[in-house]
Amino acid sequence: MPFIIDGNNLLCSVQDMPAESDSITDRKLCYLLDRYFRVVCEKAVMVFDGAGPPQKATFDNIANVEVVFAGRNNDADSVIEDKISASTAPGALTIVSSDRRLRAAARAAKATALTSPDFWKTVRQTMDKARAVSQEPAAKRTGITSSETEQWLKFFGIEQ
């Protein structure tokens, strides 16, 4: 669990960005981050304030992001601080939040702290690169066929 994310903080930051749509919901954000963490081979815990939706089953199919709701009598910041304190290797954690309280708790535990906009910028850049790679033609990775090779050799007048 190297990433612990302040869910509401990140969601608000993403919705406030001019390039992003405010139609991004907590569920959609979790699925986007699931794909990101699959690409970077990491796992995360996303902590949201409140009790969450009555039907939490839609959050169950997310493999790389564990979704936690703080509950009615707790807040996400307190849950994240508890997770930092409970970690046996806090220096390996990355805390994602623009909240000063959480960034201070991360620094005190020698964990990495990223602001929500900085983290989202990294997510977008990584996913744009992954999308560009996946759109390359298969021939670019596999090479040309033997008959195509013969045609090019003939074209350039190279004897075999």
Task: Encode pLDDT of 86-105 as tens digits.
Answer: 999 999 999 999 999 999 99
The string of pLDDT tens digits covering residues 92-150 is: 999 999 999 999 999 999 999 999 999 999 999 999 888 776 666 666 667 788 888 88
Give dist(CA 147, CA 43) in Å, integer: 45
The SS3 call for residue 96 is: strand
In 3-state terms the chain splits into helix, strand, coil percentages (rounded to 5) of 55, 15, 35
The structural domains of the chain, ordered by start, are: 3-155 (3.40.50)
Count other C-beta atoms under 10 Å from residue 155's C-beta: 8
